[in-house]
Structure 1
Amino acid sequence: MQSLLKITSAQVLTKGKQVFESLDFDWQEGEQWAIIGSSGAELTTFIETIRGNAVLPKGKLVRPFAKEYTEMKTLAGEINSFRDLIAYVSQRYEIRNKSNQQNFYFQQRFNASENEDTLTVREYLSQVEAKVSGPWTLEKVAHLLRLEYLLDKSVLLLSNGETRRLALGLGLMRQPRIYLMDQPMTGLDVKSRAEFGEILKVIISKGVQVLLTTSANEIPEGITHVAKLSGKGIEKSWEVADFHLTAKHEQKLSYDWELLDSLLPKRPNANEEVIRLENLSIKYGEKQILNNLNWEVRSGERWLLKGANGSGKSTLISLLIGENPQAYSQNLWLFGRKRGTGESIWDVKRPTGFVAPELSRFFPANQTCRKVILSGLFDTMGLFKKVSAEQENLAWKWMTLFHLEAVENIPINRLSLENQRWTLLTRALIKEPKLLILDEASQGMDEFQRRLFKDTVQQICERSSMTLVYVSHYAEDVPEAVGKVIELR
């Protein structure tokens, strides 16, 4: 077999720090790879090495897959790169407006009249300029990824899972020879994750070579080889038929639960009404999102909110956090008060802490970890006022709890995905909310970090009377304290 790409004895640095001591990897024609490991940063760096975005002080990386193409283009006097033949789906997928700027604000996605500056799914896919010819048309991509019914919808209105499918489609429109995917199943519901293997097999059948990072218990169909990373390099590799799930490696990292206990609010559980919906129905144009929904949540209850991608979870949450203007026309009570009876938006937001992975995209570029955390005290997307010494001290205690001291002055858009998630959780908790809403809040974390996040939420439930609404497509991520379920269909 012919080698597509070969890394030999490479020391790999990123941001000046060594990630791999001696990395060896030989990717042969016809092999489809799943890369696993305990560190999300190592998995991402492995892909960035292939993409040419890491520093190799020692060792060698060659890309035979691009040799013929680059020689031909160079001979013709055309600018070219091996990257012309690669598609990449990152976990940090971004949505931009018609001016190619990412200047959206979070509330904008729920205000239909304010979405006009965003492209539709059809326009977003159509604007991809491939450097090479290939088999993927807009129609074929939309059919494969179940985007057909979304083609005329604003990309800003897509659910998290729908946005992930769009990101995969954008990669295919580049007509890649090699397709790199960083945790591509993150954010997909159970049905979509099961279908992902079938999608992958179709992609491979068109001559695309695939390499993806994933967890050890999610190796999709179509993959032929598995490699496990460590700080030294590739620890072990298998043909997929020989791959067996080994015992998980438990890292020796824990949080100071006594410090957490001292920071959490101490309220008696008064069994008060927190959420009440009566025959709630939401439409966008002709599309019915929620239909005659009834739900009641009492203080101290812990609920799992379930539903497939596009079932209306994001819309429901937008009503609960005061961001959806349709709340005023509905029978919706929050903390015993009906929406539209004279309350301000701040009255709705103050008792509620909210975490979703996409929140990090809506903070201004100058907002550091510390500022984002402190902004939770004011329910703003960034810190824009002077804080007291007492508030600074409170933020420092929370940062100490979640080991964020070293990154306090780093802008949130430059933090690792793990630290972004802990920063957003801290922002939600610092104001001592009565209701905590966690929407796929550990998305993008590696396996250990997800277990730590789950344990942390469990400890919050055990040490406070906080009401919880928890959204996750992964049953193993749901804390034991969550005892009630509502499923949208």
Structure 2
Amino acid sequence: MPQNLLLIQNSKVLFKGNHAFENLNFSLNQNENWAIIAESGWLQTAFLETIRGNTVIPEGHVERPFASTYIQEKSAQKEMHSFRDLIAYVSQKYEFRNKFNQQNFYFQQRFNSSESGETLTVEEFLQAVESKVSGPWTVEGVMELLDLERLKDESLLKLSNGETRRLAIASGLLRQPKLFLMDHPTTGLDLASRTNFGKVLKEIISQGVHVILTCAAGEVPEGITDVALLDSKGVDKTFSASSFSDQEEIIARKEWNWDLLKSLLSREKLPEASPVRLENVTITYDQKPILNQVNWEVRAGEKWQLKGPNGSGKSTLISLLIGENPQAYSQNFWLFGRKRGTGESIWDVKRPTGFVAPELARFFPANQTVRKVILSGLFDTMGLFKKINAEQDELADKWIELFELEREANQLLSRVSMEKQRWALLARAMIKKPQLLILDEASQGMDEMQRTLFKDTVQKICENSAISLIYVSHYDEDVPDEVNQKFSLVN
């Protein structure tokens, strides 16, 4: 009889004040490692948070036998303890703090080389990770496993999204967990890193760690033994990993009111000037080239996919295009026919361009509601700080209606689900009817249904307007058909 490590029985679960599961039942046994699949990413996160003890359970109970011996020992020694001491968790909302232990970075800070001294390096960050228990993982070992050795002296601010993801996993291992919970761990990883993730996972499991992770139905990695399909009642079905195949029937197809979307798009013909033209652009940080002699032109109405592995400089290139990189003035590049550094204001740069990236949600002030965030797109500010008129308010209402955000409109952005945040950010980018739309892994963190809907939405935007588009994604299947040109960066 396999040893039971975790048991959830007949549990009604509330997460962030909302109903998550009516009757959740789940067990983890010795030598099992689970992938959790669901139509809703919010349900997947609620499931992991239930294991962590961060949900309300008015009915039923959760048992954690994996921590029993540890709790008995610490109780006998009269030491502070918790079952959480034996759990590592990689969230989709990971945040790193500066040297003053404050998470007070602002969005532009990552592109300002003079400010990188305020943050720890990769090696310093990992050395500072504390564990309540002993175990096999060392700083050197996790850096080798997660391919972080070459980044050990890099400031946290200079890491790409995928590199930051690998760092979060490495940090989790240094907690010497018995149970490792990962919420969509391959999100933001390039193709090579995703391909290698199965090997990483098997090495983690070989050290006695049990893994429960969430993922898309078509992305169950090597090392996983079992798959659970969730719905609002609880665990709907379970499969062995060997018998599980991409369960297409769980991916519901959803559509917005496309006529409403069409009415919100610009009818103006775009100017003839190319939105983007770069000539031999070179960006360096601490004498290290991030972009080296880059030449690229995006003509009006063109749709491009920007590709490249983690760390190849995609975010740095985008920072130039959205006016956030202080090295812009020393480079030869033109935005909408005007050379940077010829007297234009930052608002002149930002006005024609809409921009969405998942990390943007972290940088809005804490008091910003979904409605305020959407309206802030009219002013290109990280939050709403101006009075708005009736016409602007009505325009926001239409975008809120389109993306079905009525219930969340007056909630704080930080309190709504990740997929709702993504739609709010897209509405923020589109509310000003931009000539150029830049989407940097914009559907990251969405579940499969929402990712498909996001792709469909961008497709409809392209079909019904003359907008220019730069689309960044490590997943080719997420790229709309209208995107028919590719530009690749290399490390």
Give the TM-score normalised by structure 1: 0.98
Please give the alpha-carbon distance, in whole angstroms, between the structure 1 residues aligned to 2:7 and 2:312.
44
- Is 2:261 aligned against 1:254? no
Equivalent residues of 2:97, 2:104 under 8 A apart:
yes
- Is 2:481 aligned against 1:480? yes
Please give the alpha-carbon distance, in whole angstroms, between the structure 1 residues aligned to 2:308 and 2:141.
27
Counterpart of 2:221? 220
Equivalent residues of 2:253, 2:453 under 8 A apart:
no
In the TM superposition, what whole-angstrom CA distance separates every residue of 1:306-350 from its partner, at most 9, and x where no partner exists? 000001100100011111111111110110011111111111111
The alpha-carbon deviation at position 76 of structure 1 amounts to 0.5
Q: Matched residues, percent identical? A: 63
Counterpart of 2:346? 345
In the TM superposition, what whole-angstrom CA distance separates every residue of 1:119-154 from its partner, at most 9, and x where no partner exists? 111121111110000111111111111111111111
Please give the alpha-carbon distance, in whole angstroms, between the structure 1 residues aligned to 2:89 and 2:289.
34
Counterpart of 2:322? 321
Paired residue secondary structure (2:120): coil
Unpaired runs of at least 5, structure 2: none
Q: CA RMSD in A?
A: 1.1
Counterpart of 1:187? 188
The alpha-carbon deviation at position 250 of structure 1 amounts to 4.8
Please give the alpha-carbon distance, in whole angstroms, between the structure 2 residues aligned to 1:59 and 1:416.
25
Counterpart of 1:100? 101
Please give the alpha-carbon distance, in whole angstroms, between the structure 2 residues aligned to 1:427 and 1:184.
27
Aligned partner letter, 1:108: Q
In the TM superposition, what whole-angstrom CA distance separates every residue of 1:90-132 from its partner, at most 9, and x where no partner exists? 0011121122222111111111112222111112111111000
Aligned partner letter, 2:385: F
Equivalent residues of 1:373, 1:430 under 8 A apart:
yes
The alpha-carbon deviation at position 57 of structure 1 amounts to 1.6
Counterpart of 2:34? 33
Paired residue secondary structure (2:75): helix
Counterpart of 2:442? 441
Counterpart of 2:129? 128
Structure 1 segments of 4+ aligned residues over 6 angstroms from their partners: none
Aligned partner letter, 1:263: L
Paired residue secondary structure (1:217): helix
Please give the alpha-carbon distance, in whole angstroms, between the structure 1 residues aligned to 2:246 and 2:330.
51
The alpha-carbon deviation at position 476 of structure 1 amounts to 0.9
The alpha-carbon deviation at position 286 of structure 1 amounts to 2.8
1:198-347 superposed matches below 5 A:
198-251=199-252, 253-347=254-348
Equivalent residues of 1:31, 1:225 under 8 A apart:
yes
Unpaired runs of at least 5, structure 1: none
Counterpart of 2:6? 5
Paired residue secondary structure (1:242): coil
Equivalent residues of 2:34, 2:212 under 8 A apart:
yes
Equivalent residues of 2:218, 2:245 under 8 A apart:
no
Paired residue secondary structure (1:58): strand
Moved more, 249-258 or 456-465: 249-258
Counterpart of 2:456? 455
1:405-444 superposed matches below 5 A:
405-444=406-445
The alpha-carbon deviation at position 269 of structure 1 amounts to 4.5
The alpha-carbon deviation at position 252 of structure 1 amounts to 5.9
Paired residue secondary structure (1:288): strand
Please give the alpha-carbon distance, in whole angstroms, between the structure 2 residues aligned to 1:276 and 1:17.
48
Please give the alpha-carbon distance, in whole angstroms, between the structure 1 residues aligned to 2:297 and 2:245.
44
Counterpart of 2:155? 154
Give the TM-score normalised by structure 2: 0.98
The alpha-carbon deviation at position 270 of structure 1 amounts to 4.7
Equivalent residues of 1:372, 1:381 under 8 A apart:
yes
User: Cα 1:286–1:252, aligned 2, differ >3 Å: closer, same or farther?
Assistant: closer
User: Cα 1:32–1:252, aligned 2, differ >3 Å: closer, same or farther?
Assistant: closer
Paired residue secondary structure (2:108): helix
Counterpart of 1:386? 387
Aligned partner letter, 1:286: Q
Equivalent residues of 1:122, 1:152 under 8 A apart:
yes
Q: For this pair of structures, how many residues does the alignment match?
A: 489
Please give the alpha-carbon distance, in whole angstroms, between the structure 1 residues aligned to 2:373 and 2:114.
28
The alpha-carbon deviation at position 61 of structure 1 amounts to 1.3
In the TM superposition, what whole-angstrom CA distance separates every residue of 1:419-462 from its partner, at most 9, and x where no partner exists? 10001101100111100000000000000000000000000001
The alpha-carbon deviation at position 468 of structure 1 amounts to 0.2
Equivalent residues of 2:305, 2:485 under 8 A apart:
yes
Counterpart of 1:354? 355
Please give the alpha-carbon distance, in whole angstroms, between the structure 1 residues aligned to 2:26 and 2:337.
60
Equivalent residues of 1:4, 1:27 under 8 A apart:
yes
User: Cα 1:129–1:157, aligned 2, differ >3 Å: closer, same or farther?
Assistant: same
Please give the alpha-carbon distance, in whole angstroms, between the structure 2 residues aligned to 1:362 and 1:60.
37
The alpha-carbon deviation at position 231 of structure 1 amounts to 1.3
Equivalent residues of 1:95, 1:156 under 8 A apart:
no
Please give the alpha-carbon distance, in whole angstroms, between the structure 2 residues aligned to 1:18 and 1:284.
47
Aligned partner letter, 1:248: E
Equivalent residues of 1:271, 1:300 under 8 A apart:
no
